[in-house]
Chain A
């Protein structure tokens, strides 16, 4: 069954997932690479135009070999030196990795690139695209032979939850019995939604931000009704920050 994720279970029993890239994103990455190869070869062609004035034979030889080496070597060289990425893959945030999460080897890079000859058939990667659609891990034939997959690599930044805490007086903390009731009534999914809204608050349009926090605050108010003196005078956004702080910041299962 296709899940869009590659799950790898380590011998220690830890499972981690990698998001698999779909055929359309991969095709777009290939198209960028195709443009890069075209630009490179046409640049070489222009440069060799000068050499042609001296010797058409040498210029012809250099162009034939240059075109061949670039078209075959582009993917091999870049995926090897950039650890599974080409220019197109970098732009589309994709990366080739080993299907079992091991270190990518040169023979894998080479095999998957040489097998493009079959994946490209009859045109525009039809065979590869079809294989990708049918395969559980979205692998083209070259990937199957090389034991590789292409994953999405979103920008990962070190988690910073400093912004979460109010750092100020939290009026909800004055009511520990209500805070405890809130923890009982709020599901992890609900608190995750609130947390994500706070973390991504600067990504929203102002009107959408106000509307979202209004709806979320109303939802949580319906769970536990704190006294008016605890909630009066604070915005919906601040109410939610206080609420997440109460639920997550002072909870029962401290770790680490």
Chain B
């Protein structure tokens, strides 16, 4: 059966044009809210076009018109059937004080798992350093295996020149970008059903545990705390949150005991994963800044007590923020 295509197109064209015009308006202004009258008209036009597409698909042998209508119906379908909240103007303060901490708390058990993996890595790193000092060559990053902690402390405390003088802010920028990249990578590895994320968290834990055990074993606990606390109390939770985001993705991918499809599960966590990603990136900006401008300065320039106190206050504020803000 072949339809009278020309008559069909000429009679339906005004309706398609109207739908196209409305769609262009909606696409150009994502915040546009149609009034009831326009909404009804839009819905009618969509249903009309969808019915035309059905007729054309059944009867016609003309692919150009069918493709045109398919495109029109596809665009309108997205607008009509979208049930997720339409984007609003972003409020950074609301996001910072409500959305992010609320998202964090909603998935706090995943964060605890992330923390447990890192602590296991820490224990492994500490034990490895205690039982096999040679393991420092593989467990300690950034050349920490090259120098005994006491030698480094002596070197840092007696150094007359400021090694970071003249490039402190570029050093800070390098730290920020590097840490964010590593954290994004930790999060993205969630797509390996979480195996990659767990590996990254465990490996970070090993490095942290090995370095800590090395400094404590060499009697340099105070230096260690003064060096790591100011930036570490923010940097380490940020990486744990990256792990939390990655594991959240992995859980949605695996879907243990869930009856809904993977598409639905991923859709459900998508916004939370985004909020956590923005959150860890923001924390790492602060950590990078503190690491370059405070952590790398030791006694006699900055007293260790002051650095430790600063770190402790930061940690308390971070805990307060993540546990109470937006309640």
Point out residues on A near B: beta carbons under 8 Å.
8, 10-18, 56-58, 60-61, 64-65, 67-68, 72, 83, 97-108, 110-111, 114-118, 141, 144-147, 154, 156-159, 161-162, 164-165, 183, 188-189, 191-192, 195-196, 199, 247-256
Cβ 8 A contact of A165, one of B6, B59, B185, B190: B6
Cβ 8 A contact of B4, one of A144, A157, A248: A248
- Chain B positions 241 through 260: 1 when the CB is less than 8 Å from some CB of chain A, otherwise 0: 00000000100010000000
CB contacts (< 8 Å) of B222 on chain A: these are none
Contact (A161, B6) CB under 8 Å given A105-B270, A118-B188: yes
A90 to chain B: closest CB distance in Å? 15
Point out residues on B near A: beta carbons under 8 Å.
1-9, 11-13, 16-17, 27, 47, 50-51, 53-55, 57, 59-65, 67-68, 70-71, 73-74, 77-79, 81-82, 84, 87, 166-170, 172-174, 176-177, 180-181, 184-185, 187-192, 196, 249, 253, 263, 266-267, 270-271, 273-274, 277
By secondary structure, the B interface counts as helix
Closest A residue to B13 by beta carbon equals: A158
CB within 8 Å: A-B pair count: 193
Cross-chain contact B184 with A114 (CB below 8 angstroms): yes
A128 to chain B: closest CB distance in Å? 11
CB contacts (< 8 Å) of A17 on chain B: these are 70
CB contacts (< 8 Å) of A107 on chain B: these are 270-271, 273-274
Cross-chain contact B61 with A159 (CB below 8 angstroms): no
Cross-chain contact B68 with A156 (CB below 8 angstroms): yes
Contact (A60, B167) CB under 8 Å given A10-B81, A99-B263: yes
CB contacts (< 8 Å) of A105 on chain B: these are 84, 87, 270-271
Closest A residue to B90 by beta carbon equals: A106
Cross-chain contact B180 with A68 (CB below 8 angstroms): yes
A216 to chain B: closest CB distance in Å? 14
Cβ 8 A contact of A256, one of B7, B87, B174: B7
Cross-chain contact A115 with B188 (CB below 8 angstroms): yes
Cβ 8 A contact of A58, one of B169, B266, B274: B169
Cross-chain contact B274 with A106 (CB below 8 angstroms): yes
B206 to chain A: closest CB distance in Å? 22
Cross-chain contact A255 with B59 (CB below 8 angstroms): yes
User: How many angstroms from the CA of A103 to the CA of B26 in the assembled complex?
Assistant: 11
Cross-chain contact B192 with A118 (CB below 8 angstroms): yes
CB contacts (< 8 Å) of A101 on chain B: these are 74, 77-78, 81
Cross-chain contact B189 with A118 (CB below 8 angstroms): yes
CB contacts (< 8 Å) of B177 on chain A: these are 64-65, 67-68
User: How many angstroms from the CA of A188 to the CA of B52 in the assembled complex?
Assistant: 18
